[in-house]
Amino acid sequence: MRLPKQITQHGQTRVDDYFWLRGGDPAAIRAYLDAENAYTEAMLKPAEALRSRLYEEILGRVEQNDASAPVPLRGYLYYSRTLDGKAYPLYCRRKGSMDAPEEILLDLNELAKDEKYLRLGNFRVSPDQRMLAYSLDVSGEEIYVTRVKDLETGALLPDRLENTYYGLEWTNDGRNLIYVTLDEAKRPYQAWLHRLGEAAQSGRLLYEEPDERFHLTLHKSRSKRFLFLDLDSAGTSEVWYAEAAGAGLEPRLFAARRHNIEYDIAHQGDNFLVRTTEGGRNFRVLTAPISDPLPENWKEKIAHREDVLVESVDAFERHLVITERENGLRRLRIENLDGDTHFVQMPETVYTLSPGENPEYETSTLRFHYTSLVTPMTAYDYHMDTRERTLVKQEPVRGGYNPSLYETVRVFAPSPDGVKVPVSMVYRKDLRRDDGNPTLLYGYGSYGISIDPAFSSSRLSLLDRGYIYAIAHIRGGEDLGKRWHDDGKLLKKWNTFDDFIAAAEFLIAAKYASPRKLAITGGSAGGMLMGVVINRKPELFRAVIAKVPFVDVLNTATDPSLPLTVIEYDEWGNSNQRDFWEYIRSYSPYDNVSRQAYPNMLVTAGLNDPRVSYWEPAKWVAKLRALKTDHNLLLLKTNMDAGHGGASGRYERIRETALDYAFLLTVVGGA
């Protein structure tokens, strides 16, 4: 039965008319979602030819027989490659050079033959490179099974570790695995040591995190000497460390957690490198002697700066690579053991930069990745002593892509409190700047995640049809430092939404866009953003694509049994406290749907999504159907075989993009 549910909290009672989509009969729920999928297909039937054309167009830009840039590790070169007609990559290696015979370590196509969904979680070769430990998820729930393969014989070992998560390492003797498991709320909370050949039940528990606000990850130092257990909530962290030699490892506390102090550590020589917010929200860097790493022995290496965020510290034998962010852009700071420092120069003014895979410690070569809204993803090897760079690989774009036809700029939109919000844009140079341009504006703005401007060959299908693509770098991310995040969370969350609306209004006022041709998109917490802004100012937008949107915020925030609820109290607030409850209620999209006109909408969900449960978008769409006063399209598309990230195979992902673009071109238009 489709019964509503009454929810009383802080003396107020709400009625959730669509609670049955979470707690009702499973068969009825599946039938409902199937019916919504059928309705979506029926409404987009007139665009069927366009979807097919877009699919072929996007696929036509993809080099289907391709390989990633090879990564050196202990005398081997590791890489992945794709084959024409195959949905998943093959993971391979060659010994010594790329001219040597190829070894196929893992063929995901073979593993996916009997599965509707497949995702690789961990991939770790043993120190002697004879064994491969890897993990697979076949449902989209992000619950992995870890297996071990003998690379000499090709046989799977009997070892099978269930309920595992991201984070997997070998001890240095190659005889043991360290891995992470989940609790009932799907929170990573335990680290285990498993000896090869023994039953999983005989493993040794290394650490268990009892505090539901913290999640556990693990990794080894680049030097391979230490194992680090990282415990994090939204604003507080703690690290345990151990010598990673063998089965006898015993984690030790590095520095006890203190509320709202974040830190992490790396290893170089005789010291740990400590990146911490103690003494400044944008992090400073200190050294701690391994022989006695108590806080009183820490020495400052890089002071805190109000205008520069230290994002990470990568330690090599003779160099440090510090990834910093200033004015919304990343830069790489290289320092050698003598203290000489320089920055890697970049060719464009608006770009994305990140360290690549750099598993080797004793090297002076840094792999980094570079891209922009007009430059395909490019891998470079940078020689940290000579400052020379070598192009290793650039993502190929078939069909004669010419970057000189496109322009990328960054503008600043004034938010209501006077803050200037960066907006990155790309469009064809022959585009006329008037209010008739179709525009797609993207936003996220949560968890301190910065959204950097990167290339997409799929996006060319919009740009070549006259679209402007824009990214609003709104508060809630860390695009402009930790304060940018602080000013977009908890009781300042409305700044996130105001910033996005300000970006949209700026594009309209500057005649880049108009309400009749402005579309917006965001996923997960960015989907929540979509829900808030269309409740607040629906007249600004022609269309919305909300991907797996986190929209039932108040109900989720009051249910600690759901994944991530307790962990994220420091991001959204604890709704058991009345001030947070009332504040969340003020913006929760599901709770603020009203009787008004809404834009055309395409909403997606994943039936097995562990991060945003399928019922959130489903309930939201149901309530919108009941209350909206317009005749615009409202479509719900649920992937019945996947989770938060959508389809796992590359061809199905392209089909999802073609669906999104066909929807846009149908309701917004384009050349």
For residue 339, give every residue at least 6 positions away whose Cβ sits within 8 Å of its Cβ, in sequence order, or none. none
Q: What is the 3-state secondary structure (H, E, C) of 458-489?
A: CCHHHHCCCCEEEEECCECECCCCHHHHHCCC
Q: Which of 381, 644, 648, 660 is catalytic?
A: 644
Tokens representing 289 are 């002697």
On the CB side of 169, CA atoms within 13 Å amount to 26
Q: Which of 237, 524, 588, 648 is catalytic?
A: 524
3-state secondary structure of 110: helix
Q: Are 97 and 116 in contact (CB under 8 A)?
A: no
Tokens representing 553 are 């915020």
Strand partners, 232: 215, 237
- Helix runs in 276-379, H state only: none
CA nearest to 644, candidates 106, 152, 211, 143: 143
**At 205, phi and psi to the nearest 5?**
-75, 120
CB-CB neighbours of 104 under 10 Å:
12
Tokens representing 225 are 């000497």
Determine whether 609 is an active site residue. Answer: yes
Dist CA 132 CA 127 (whole Å): 10
Strand partners, 369: 354, 379
Q: Helix 650-667 and helix 48-60: axis angle, to 10°?
A: 130
Q: What is the 3-state secondary structure (H, E, C) of 400-461?
A: CCCHHHEEEEEEEEECCCCCEEEEEEEEECCCCCCCCCCEEEECCCCCCCCCCCCCCCCCHH
Phi-psi region of 650 (alpha: psi -120 to 50; beta: other; left: phi over 0): alpha
**At 325, phi and psi to the nearest 5?**
-130, 125
Query: Would you call 571 exposed, middle or buried from its count of C-beta atoms within 10 A (0-12, 13-18, 19+)?
Result: buried
**Would the CA dihedral through 349, 352, 354, 356 be positive or negative?**
negative
Q: Are 320 and 289 in contact (CB under 8 A)?
A: no
Tokens representing 619 are 């309930």
The string of DSSP codes covering 513-552 is: --GGGEEEEEETHHHHHHHHHHHH-GGG-SEEEEES----
Beta pairing, strands 156-170 & 439-442: unpaired
**At 403, phi and psi to the nearest 5?**
-60, -20
User: How long is the chain?
Assistant: 671
3-state secondary structure of 580: helix
Strand partners, 81: 67, 90
Q: Which of 137, 452, 609, 660 is catalytic?
A: 609
Strand partners, 475: 477
Phi-psi region of 557 (alpha: psi -120 to 50; beta: other; left: phi over 0): alpha
Residue located via tokens 């010419």: 402
Determine whether 644 is an active site residue. Answer: yes
Q: Are 611 and 524 in contact (CB under 8 A)?
A: yes
3-state secondary structure of 127: coil
CA angle 467, 470, 471 (to 5 degrees): 155
3-state secondary structure of 323: strand
Tokens representing 420 are 């200037």
Beta pairing, strands 468-472 & 543-547: unpaired
Dist CA 629 CA 634 (whole Å): 12
Dist CA 194 CA 569 (whole Å): 33
Q: Which residues are catalytic?
A: 524, 609, 644
